Amino acid sequence: RLRALNRLQVILQHLKMSKQTDSAAEVLLEKKGGAGIITLNRPKALNALNLSMIKKIYPQIKTWEQDPETFLIIIKGTGGKAFCAGGDIRAITEAGKVGDKLIQDFFIGEYRLNNAIGTCKKPYVALIDGITMGGGVGVSVHGHFRVATEKTVFAMPETAIGLFPDVGGGYFLPRLSGKIGYYLALTGCRLKGRDVLRVGIATHFVESEKLPALEKDLIALKSPSKEKIADLLNSYHMKCTIDQEKEFALDEHKEKINSLFSAGSMEEIVKKLKQDGSPFAMKQLETLNKMSPTSLKLTLRQLREGASMSLQEVLRMEYRLSQACMKGHDFYEGVRAVLIDKDQSPKWKPAALEEVSDEFVDNCFKPLGNDDLKL
């Protein structure tokens, strides 16, 4: 009898352990009903993506895509604060300083994942509840459906850390209405709640506390088509009245954004903002003055070229830019100032837009031969 009890204790201990390791996994991949569910599970790091998570998610999406019993894929984050706040910038910074291969592997893995989502044959539903920035935008925006909530905070803040809005930013940003994508990319402006829908980043808007019910209903759908999934999302969307009366935050500035950010060069954009002189224009000028001049120039060209490229061409271009940034100065300095020392006063090199030559920018866009990104 004692032995049986001991055995039971051992089994219970095992169960407890397997449960712990499970919830300690950085990404949870499970199948419920006809749905494959990806749960980003690094709540303390705001579900930031690292390479090991990317390496688990990518093959799973590919497997589900081929599986006749999987009808849709859902991606979400844990912890209630963030869907995914971006890529694991610190790890990349450390790797870059010592010339570690991670600076290639991370971007290759991440961009391949972005492409897998963008080309996924199964309906892909991202529940972007909470902070959704950088890499978090990359694992959501290229899918069929993006459900925002009143807690969603969207931004592409890369120019502040000497990078550029990657993960396919060169594809989706210039395709937003007017010049709003250029504005978001260059200034890192944050959009909240319903505004994420209004600008076209999200496809639906649902109350945060209704997401578990929505997920349950999605899982319960019997061999659903994309239309059926859309119908279900629409029904939730139509019932949500939160912030319906609130005006779109950029509404009053739309015309200004479209005219000021349509200039062909960064110098010209700055000149237009100075000439405009309105409080809005001066505020944008102040923001741009804090950004890496190199990043601003790379970003403007990235978006202008990306506007007429396929997602695959954009990701190839962005991989070239990522490697140029890894070799430069500003990325490491930006991360130091914003994330490590948090003194918020980066010393950019070059320090002024005029000092970033066209030749330098051209070089960053040059093909890498055998080292180019293969999708």
Q: Residue 11 — very low, low, confident or very high, per pLDDT cuts 50/70/90? A: low
Q: In this predicted structure, what is the pLDDT of residue 142?
A: 98
158 catalytic, yes or no? yes
Q: In this predicted structure, what is the pLDDT of residue 243?
A: 92
Q: In this predicted structure, what is the pLDDT of residue 16?
A: 55
Whether residue 14 is contained in a domain is answered as no
Q: What is the mean pLDDT of residues 27-45?
A: 97
Which candidate in 88, 158, 215, 330 is catalytic?
A: 158
Which candidate in 34, 109, 134, 135 is catalytic?
A: 135
Q: What is the mean pLDDT of residues 173-184?
A: 98
Whether residue 7 is contained in a domain is answered as no
Q: Residue 19 — very low, low, confident or very high, per pLDDT cuts 50/70/90? A: very low
87 catalytic, yes or no? yes
Which candidate in 34, 87, 134, 306 is catalytic?
A: 87
Q: What is the mean pLDDT of residues 91-117?
A: 96
pTM confidence score: 0.93
Whether the pLDDT of residue 18 is over 70: the answer is no
**Exposed, middle or buried by CB within 10 Å (0-12, 13-18, 19+), for 274?**
exposed
Average pLDDT, the chain: 95
Is the pLDDT higher at 218 or at 6?
218
pLDDT tens string 323-363? 999 999 999 999 999 999 999 999 999 999 999 999 999 99
Assess contact for 266 and 297: CB atoms under 8 A.
yes
Sign (positive or negative) of CA dihedral 91, 92, 93, 96: positive
The domain of 172 spans 27-371
Whether residue 16 is contained in a domain is answered as no
Q: In this predicted structure, what is the pLDDT of residue 22?
A: 56
Whether residue 19 is contained in a domain is answered as no
94 catalytic, yes or no? no
Residue of 137, 141, 118, 127 lying closest to 216 (CA atoms): 127
Helix (H, G, I), strand (E, B) or coil at 145: strand
Q: Residue 24 — very low, low, confident or very high, per pLDDT cuts 50/70/90? A: confident
Whether residue 2 is contained in a domain is answered as no
Which candidate in 166, 215, 318, 330 is catalytic?
A: 166
Residue of 133, 357, 374, 182 lying closest to 284 (CA atoms): 182
Q: Alpha-carbon distance 196 to 40, whole Å? A: 21
Whether residue 185 is contained in a domain is answered as yes
Helix (H, G, I), strand (E, B) or coil at 126: strand
Count up the domains in the chain and report the number: 1
Whether residue 293 is contained in a domain is answered as yes
CATH of residue 278: 3.90.226.10
Whether residue 84 is contained in a domain is answered as yes
Q: In this predicted structure, what is the pLDDT of residue 154?
A: 98
Of 6-20, 48-62, 216-230, which gets the smallest average pLDDT? Answer: 6-20
Give me the amino acid identity at 169: G
pLDDT tens string 247-302? 999 999 999 999 999 999 999 999 999 999 999 999 999 999 999 999 999 999 99
pLDDT tens string 306-322? 999 999 999 999 999 99
